[in-house]
Amino acid sequence: QVQLQESGPGLVEPSGTLSLTCAVSGGSISSSNWWAWVRQPPGRGLEWIGEIYHSGRTNYNPSLKSRVTISVAKSKNQFSLRLNSVTAADTAVYYCARVVAATDTFDMWGHGTMVTVSS
Amino acid sequence: QTVVTQEPSLSVSPGGTVTLTCALSSGSLSTSYYIGWYQQTPGQAPRALIYRTNSRSSGVPNRFSGSILGSKAALTITGAQADDEADYYCVVYVNNGRVFGGGTKLTVL
């Protein structure tokens, strides 16, 4: 059973960089899936941030594209998110998820990690 | 910018039927948008219900069904149960990206 676990700082200063890692266990990150980041501000809906294939190909949300980098570390079986120039509007629960390429399904999710942007 | 719109809230009686819809700002939805539906309960990660418009994910009860109704995607719950009370999100694949709808809060009462 594939499991995903997010990790990273829970507090980031305004104008700083948010960095999170998602560790994948029980399966290979080099399988035929996309690996995605989704966030949810408190009391609000889901927002797709972007995703990466093990080849390194990425797709990003156009509204965040200028500030986002998603990368993959195959040797560590993990992928990462970097979001630059953060503001309070970036405060959210951040989820990592597996997207099965054959069905476009977000079928496995991490538990989510709360990141607060504040000084 | 692509916007996906859902009803903010709906209610259904136990045992009743309810249809949630998902609309695309730029036109009609079709099966080519790889539409998915997700259920989220408080404090939990979303759970996949429907993929590619009308296919049920593994373990999902058959009271959940997906379809296209006119220009919108739809999720129908037939014979609603108390534990179907949750937030429901659709997601569409468009221009090499994914857009979630704003979500529908479903109350079972």
Average pLDDT over residues A83-90: 98
Whether the per-residue pLDDT at A14 is higher than 90: the answer is yes
Question: Considering chain A, what is the average pLDDT of its residues?
Answer: 96
B11 near B109, Cβ under 8 Å?
Answer: yes
d(CA B102, CA B5): 6
Please tell me the distance in Å from B58's CA to the nearest CA on chain A.
9
> What pLDDT, on the 0 to 100 scale, is given for residue A46?
98
Residue pLDDT, tens place only, B29-50: 988 889 999 999 999 999 999 9
Indicate yes or no: CB of B51 within 8 angstroms of CB of A48. no
What average pLDDT score do residues B10-37 get? 94
Q: Does B94 touch chain A (CB under 8 A)?
A: no
Q: pLDDT averaged over chain B?
A: 96
**What pLDDT is recorded for position B31?**
86
**Cα separation of A84 and A80, whole Å?**
13
Bridge partners of A33, per DSSP, are A100
Chain A residue with CA closest to B104: the answer is A45
Give the separation between CA A17 and CA B49, rounded to whole angstroms: 34
Helix (H), strand (E) at residue B55: strand B55-56
Write the pLDDT tens digit of every residue in B77-102: 999 999 999 999 999 999 889 999 99
Q: Identify residues of A whose CB sits under 8 angstroms from chain B CBs.
A: 36, 38, 45-48, 51, 59-63, 95, 97, 103-107, 109-112
Asked if B102's CB is within 8 angstroms of A109's CB, the reply is no
